[in-house]
Amino acid sequence: MLKTVLLLLGALTLSALVWHIGIERIYAAVTQLGPAAMLAVLLPSLLMYVLEAYGWLVTLGAWAKDVPFWRVLAIRTAGEVVNMTTPTAYVGGEPLKAFLLKRQGVPIVEGLASVVTAKTTMTIAQILFILAGIGLGVWLLGAGGSAGQTITAGLVSVGLLVFGVGAFVIVQRQGMFTWMLNLVRRFGLRLQYLESREQKLLDLDRTIAHFYTHRRSAFLASTGLFLLGWLAEALEVFVMILCLGQPITVLSAIAIGALSVFIKGGTFFIPGSLGAQDAGNLFLLTAFGYGEVTGITFALLRRFREFVWIVLGLACLAIMTKGVDRSLPAD
């Protein structure tokens, strides 16, 4: 019920923004974009997906050679469509990725371990990207006014996120899943599903801990690849604004891209961040000196890109799960 209400509020917010700015003005801006420009705005996101798939592949270790890269890319695309379309803090598609890897011959323990570690390295890279964006935002816009207050709030939020991710890594190294099982037991609960999989949980914790203690080069490589993937978001900002006929610098593109990622992450509880993400993109572009028409058209172009990848993700999901007996457990 709450999800439906948030979705409706988001749709109303986006509709109100479009109505306020003017459908005719937005239509005039969009129609200036030809097929070549529409293709150009999609290329950075393709680069982002490829880089992030490689970032995940690195965490698979020896199992990476047994799964073709295009399958890893398809599995990640299928998992991300679940993350994008469900209010699950962008983690709902992660178990699905491990399940689909299992269908490619990767044991469920190694698959889940790679999903957890890749999500961690991706989040670390995301924090670095956002911090760079906040720093550039302060430098380009100054620390005063509403933009400065937003950036200050962003710094506080990122600080909390850094603390959370650091604690998450420590817990992973100490044995996250067995810790969760022991915590449940301390409350006097006996969950049969977890109890029957205790050995797998122990193996999973060992595999994750091994990654952090013995595969540090893979950890750094994965983080670096994900950081390049996040920078592809800045490239998308750069290309989109150029296609809209507006000037932009590389530093502004990085700042806008990073702050946009921060806004989207902060509104994960709204399905697709509908309304909030669009208003945030509009606010960002107006703060950087662009007009309302450019801001809302930019936001709609990003929605167009998301729609394309949702369609591709659903297609990958349909293909990768073809023939699955959903009555059987994943493990």
Confidence band of 72 (pLDDT split at 50, 70, 90): very high
In this prediction, residues 39-57 reach a mean pLDDT of 95
- Total structural domains in the chain? 1
CA separation, residue 124 to residues 92, 147, 171, 218, 309 (Å): 19, 25, 15, 14, 24
First to last CA, the chain: 31
DSSP annotation of 268: T
The least confident of 8-22, 91-105, 251-265, 266-280 is 266-280
Asked if pLDDT for residue 144 goes beyond 50, the answer is yes
Across 104-126, average pLDDT: 90
Range of the domain at 225: 34-318
- In a domain, residue 18? The reply is no
Q: Give the H or E element holding residue 30.
A: helix 23-31
Predicted confidence at residue 232, as pLDDT, reads 96
Residue 267 within a domain? yes
User: Is 81 part of a structural domain of the chain?
Assistant: yes
Q: Is the pTM of this model over 0.75?
A: yes
Q: Which residue has the higher pLDDT, 35 or 316?
A: 316
C-alpha pair distances (Å), 31 with each of 24, 84, 122, 276: 10, 27, 36, 25
**Does residue 60 lie within any of the structural domains?**
yes
Q: What is the mean pLDDT of residues 39-67?
A: 93
Residue of 196 and 67 predicted with greater confidence: 67
pLDDT beyond 50 at 298: yes
The span from the CA of 56 to the CA of 214, in Å, is: 17
Q: Give me the pLDDT at residue 18, please.
A: 78
Find the range with the poorest average confidence among 41-50, 115-124, 205-214. 205-214
pLDDT recorded at residue 177: 64
Binned at pLDDT 50, 70 and 90, residue 131 comes out as confident
Q: What is the average pLDDT score of the chain?
A: 81
To the nearest 10°, report the CA torsion of 278, 231, 47, 72: -100
pLDDT tens digits for range 182-233: 666 565 555 555 555 666 777 888 888 888 888 889 999 999 999 999 999 9
- Tally of CB atoms within 10 A around 50: 17
Q: Structure tokens of 77? A: 């695309």
Average pLDDT over residues 16-42: 82
Both tokens of 329, joined, read: 């457990």
HEC profile of 153-188? HHHHHHHHHHHHHHHHHHHHHHCHHHHHHHHHHHCC
Distance CA 165, CA 127 (A): 9
Q: Judge whether 56 lies within some domain.
A: yes
Give the DSSP per-residue string, 269-318. Answer: TSGGGTTHHHHHHHHHHHHTT--HHHHHHHHHHHHHHHHHHHHHHHHHHH
User: Per the domain annotation, does 282 fall within a domain?
Assistant: yes
Beta carbons of 93 and 80 less than 8 angstroms apart = yes
- Band of pLDDT at residue 175, cut at 50, 70 and 90: low
22 within some domain:
no
For 218, phi then psi, to 5°, come to -70, -40
Residue 176's pLDDT is 64
In a domain, 189, yes or no: yes
Query: What band does 95 get if pLDDT is binned at 50, 70 and 90?
Result: confident
